[in-house]
Structure 1
């Protein structure tokens, strides 16, 4: 898998008084994109939680290049940039009609639900290996 795509429609609740999407709403869109990326690869948060593993966002760098508006249909893309130990780095974009509106570099870490760091699950490490062969 090189790049995962997930559609998001903009609703009134996503906008601010100016009619643009409120900046914090993009965080939700990126989160949905990451979740659906994993889900489409057969990796489910509920199953990981049952094994005592969860993810936490360690850092996120976002660039806002353009504004989305009510009724826009956006495309949230997600792709693996790197995997090492307990870290997964993802490159994400939000596009409208092929034009990039927002970009993010996200580092998530694997943690034990009981506390402390955990090794990145084998299924995700395998995705990174698969990425290298695409």
Structure 2
């Protein structure tokens, strides 16, 4: 589905919700997310956090296709992960209902650092600090345009 129906989004929470403290994305653990022991495979946590970051940006108006066509930054660009700091605290298991929480950390001229954590109810199972850099399509580091920073910080 590319267009929302006239009465609003068919799936209003598909991208989670932006709250005062950041963004929350619900996630369910499926069989494909687990390893032979029944616990979530370590890369699953990173995928869930990527979805949280992407949906957070999308809800703030920073769409990947608008970055790619240059309409947000003046030239085709993309965010790329520069650094990750991950803490695996508890195992998530099949059918668990999780929430991915995403919030701002800090900004530099070319990077944004986000803090993320995944919870199961009130129990924190994973923490991540991720620094993303804005790159041109040729791989050159770009400054974050003021208009883009405004979009990111008004959420």
Partner in structure 2 of residue 118 of structure 1: 142
- Aligned partner (choices 106, 115, 138) of residue 91 of structure 1: 115
Alignment partner of 1:25 is 2:44: yes
Q: Is the 8 A contact 2:111 2:144 kept in 1?
A: yes
* Residue 60 of structure 1, aligned match among 84, 105, 113: 84
The number of equivalent residue pairs is 131
Q: Deviations over 1:69-123 (max 9, x none)?
A: 0001110010111111110000000000021100000000000013301112434
Question: Over aligned residues, Cα RMSD in angstroms?
Answer: 1.5
Bigger radius of gyration among the two: 2
**Given the alignment of the two structures, is residue 105 of structure 1 paired with residue 140 of structure 2, yes or no?**
no
Unmatched runs of 5 consecutive residues or more in structure 1:
none
Q: Distance in 2 between matches of 1:7 and 1:43?
A: 20
Change beyond 3 A, Cα 1:62–1:69: same
Q: Which residue of 1 aligns with 2:64?
A: 45
Higher relative contact order (CA 8 A, sep 6+): 1
Deviation at 1:54, TM superposition (A): 0.3
The one-character-per-residue Cα deviations of 1:13-42 (angstroms, maximum 9, x if unpaired) are 000011000011111001000000001111
Distance 2:64 2:86 in 1: 24
Cα pair 1:82 1:128 within 8 Å, conserved: no
